[in-house]
Amino acid sequence: MKVYYDDKYIEINKNNKYFIYSPLNDKYIEINEKSKNLIDYIYNSNGNISINEIRNYFISKYNLDVCNDEINKFINKLIEVKILFASNNDMQIEKLNHIGYLKKLKQGNLKVAYIHATLRCNFNCSYCYNRTLINKDYKEFSTSEWIKILKKLKKQGVVKFIFTGGEPLIRKDLKELILSVKDKNTYIEVLTNGSLLKDQFYDLIDIVDKFTVSLDSFDININSKNRSDVNYYDIISTLKLFSEYNKDKILVRSVVNKNNIDDVEHFSKQLYEEYGIESTHGWFIPNNYSEIPLVPKYRKLENPSSIRPKNVNFISILNKLACGAATSIIALDPAGNIYPCQNLMTKELKISNILNENWYEELINSDITKLLSNLSVDDIEKCKDCSYRHICGGGCRAIAYKVYGSLTDHISYFCDFLQADAKDAIEKTKISCG
C-alpha cells in the first residue's frame, strides 16, 4: 500500500501532546503517542506501508495487537483530513487548490479604513510607525469635510473604522466624526496613547467598540524611555475608569523592546490583577535598517491576560495573516490621500485621494494594489521552502519595505521570532485524530 504526504511536515511534541502540521495545505492534527508513532512509521517508510508490518510494530513496541480494521480506519482518517493522500495526483490537486484559497483570502471588498484625521501628537514615541510624519505642517480636513469622507467610505462598504494618528483625541470633534457613521453594523476602534482619554471618556465610551491604549510599563522610568511621560498618571486614572465602567472595551498594547522586555510579563500580570484589563504584546518593529539593533533578542513571553485565545481555530489564523492591504484595508492621511495600510503611508505607495471622483476605481486598478494582491510567501526566495511559511506569511510586508526597501525581501532579523510564533500557533490549535 502506498500513501503520499508533504515531506516538509512539522512534528511538535509539547507536554506529551503531539501535533502534525502539513504546510502543503495548512492542515494540522493533535494526536496521541501511539498515533504519532504510527505516523512516524509511515513517514520513515516513505509512504510504503504494510498492514502486517504495522501490526508487528505495535506488538513489539507496545505489546498491543491492533486489528487490521483499526489500522485502516486510522489511515483513512488521515486521508480524510488530508494529512495523507491516496495518490500523488490527489496531493498535487490539494496543493493547487490551497494556493487558490490563499489568493482568495487576500482579495475582497473594502471593509476597513484607518483614519488619520490628524498627525498631531502630544507624545514622541521612538517606535511610532508614523514617526517621520508626526507633527508636520499638514492641512487637516474640517469636521464637515471628514464627515462627508467617512460617509463616502461607509457607502463603499467600509464596516470598520479605526481612528488613529498622531493622537486622534487631539481633535475635539472625534465624537462627532464617529457618530456620523456609527450604527449596529459598524465597528469603531480608537488607537490612542490614552493621555487625553480621561476627559473624553464619557463622551466616547458608549459609541466606541474598542480602545487600544499604548502603555509599556507601570514603571514611569521604563515607560518614558520610549514615550513621553506627559500626563502619564492620567493614563492610570483612565485604566481605573475602564475597570469600573467597562473593562471589555479596552486593550492595552505594549511594544516589547530592550527597555521593557524584563518587565513586560510583570506589567501584564499586574494590569490584569489590579484592573482586570487584558493586554497584548507587540514586538518592536524598526522603522529602518539602522534600528535593527534596538530589537531585543527573541524569547518566549508568557502573558496571563493575553487576548490571544488558548485554543485557536487554524482558519482564523490564516485569515488574520492573509494581508488585506489595498484590497480590504486602506489608510487615509489628513489630506485624504489613500495608502495600502497604516504602515505603508509613503509618497511612493500613495494610491489615490478620497476626493477624486473615481478614487475607488483608481484603488482597485492601481499597480500597487495588484502587486500587493499577488504577493505570495512562495515568491520570497528564502521563505519558499520553509515549513512555517503559510502561517507567518513571511512577516508583514511593511516591515520588509521599511527595513530593506522592498516589499518582497526576506525579513532575516525577524525570522526566528516568526517561526517561534508560528509554532506557538500550531500548539494552541485543537483538532484531534487518534
pLDDT tens for residues 154-178? 999 999 999 999 999 999 999 999 9
Give the residues across from 20 on adjacent strands: 11, 29
As a whole-number percent, the residues of the chain with pLDDT over 90 amount to: 39
Pairing of strands 17-22, 10-14: antiparallel
Res 320: pLDDT: 42
Q: Is the pLDDT of residue 58 over 70?
A: yes
Longest dimension (CA), the chain: 79
Res 312: pLDDT: 36
Res 310: pLDDT: 37
The least confident of 162-171, 254-263, 306-315, 337-346 is: 306-315
Q: Which residues contact 404 (CB under 8 A, 6 or more apart)?
A: 289, 411
Tell me, letter by letter, the H, E, C secondary structure of the chain. Answer: CECEECCCCEEEEECCEEEEEECCCCEEEEECHHHHHHHHHHHHCCCECCHHHHHHHHHHHHCCCCCHHHHHHHHHHHHHCCCEECCHHHHHHHHHHHHHHHHHHCCCCCCEEEEECCCCCCCCCCCCCCCCCCCCCCCCCCHHHHHHHHHHHHHHCCCEEEEECCCHHHCCCHHHHHHCCCCCCCEEEEEECCCCHHHHHHHHCCCCCEEEEECCCCCHHHHHCCCCCCCHHHHHHHHHHHHHHCHHHEEEEEEECCCCCCCHHHHHHHHHHHHCCCEEEEECCCCCHHHHHHCCCCCCCCCCCECCCCCECHHHHHHHHCCCECCCEEEECCCCEEECCCCCCCHHHCCEECCCCCHHHHHHHCHHHHHHHHCCHHHCCCCCCCCCHHHHCCCCHHHHHHHHCCCCCCCHHHHHHHHHHHHHHHHCECCECC
Res 232: pLDDT: 58
Q: Which residues contact 408 (CB under 8 A, 6 or more apart)?
A: 375, 379, 380, 397, 400
Cα distances (angstroms) measured from residue 217 to each of 229, 245, 403: 11, 22, 27
Cα distances (angstroms) measured from residue 395 to each of 2, 322, 329, 383, 421: 37, 10, 17, 10, 11
pLDDT tens for residues 2-48? 999 998 888 888 777 788 888 888 888 888 887 888 888 888 889 88
Res 322: pLDDT: 61
Res 319: pLDDT: 44
Per the listing, cell 492595552 goes with 252
- Grid coordinates of 151: 460617509
Q: Is the pLDDT of residue 196 over 50?
A: yes
Res 230: pLDDT: 55
Res 23: pLDDT: 87
How many Å apart are CA 84 and CA 75, to the nearest integer? Answer: 8
Question: What are the phi and psi torsion angles at 330 (to 5°)?
Answer: -140, 165
Q: What is the mean pLDDT of residues 390-407?
A: 88
Angle, alpha carbons 272-186-162 (nearest 5°):
60
Cα distances (angstroms) measured from residue 170 to each of 67, 145, 187, 194, 200: 71, 17, 21, 11, 11
Specify which of 73-77, 232-236, 399-403 reaches the highest per-range mean pLDDT.
Answer: 399-403
Res 377: pLDDT: 84
The least confident of 60-69, 99-108, 364-373, 396-405 is: 99-108
The least confident of 66-70, 117-121, 167-171, 276-280 is: 66-70
Res 233: pLDDT: 58
Amino acid at 72: N
Res 149: pLDDT: 98
For residue 50, count other CB atoms closer than 10 A to its CB: 11
Res 284: pLDDT: 84
* Greater pLDDT, 66 or 207: 207
pLDDT tens for residues 288-313? 898 888 888 766 666 544 434 333 34
